[in-house]
Amino acid sequence: MFDLLIRSMNDRLTTEEDKQLQQALKGSSELREEKIKLNKVGKLLSSRNYSFSDGFRNRVMQAVSDEKRGKVISVDFTRSFTSMFNRIAVAGVAVIALLVISLYISHGSLNVNTITGVEPVSQDNLVSVLLYEK
């Protein structure tokens, strides 16, 4: 009956459907409340005045015709983001590899001191640093 009530708001019902709806409205308080709510919503929507910018209709119709012809290309953000991320990641790995190779060539080894850029500390210097007091 609810579907019939909604249809009655927009279209004309046959006499038999109208009789069924009237009987259902008499027998159901919930259906009467729904009709009142639908009437309020209908009045609210009909009181609104919508205005669109110039050429809106033409743009919409052009988009519809393009969609029918399959011309609309939708931009997929995740695909473009993934593609961009992959390019940046590959470039980053290449730069890191070049830095590691240059460190190896310049210092002759790849120990922790070479990678961090810290000079090795001799034991004599370490003892003097540890015994230093202000």
Structural domain spans, the chain: 1-48, 79-118
Please give the average per-residue pLDDT across 45-66, as a whole number.
Answer: 84
- b/e map 71-101, b = 16+ CB within 10 Å: eeeeeeeeeeeeeeeeeeeeeeeeeeeeeee
Q: Copy the structure tokens of residue 28.
A: 């159901």
- Per-residue model confidence as pLDDT tens digits over 80-110: 888 899 999 999 999 999 988 888 888 787 7
In the predicted model, is pLDDT for residue 66 greater than 70? yes
The proportion of the chain whose per-residue pLDDT surpasses 90, expressed as a percent, equals 10
Cα 55 to Cα 50, 52, 59, 61, distances in angstroms: 15, 8, 6, 10
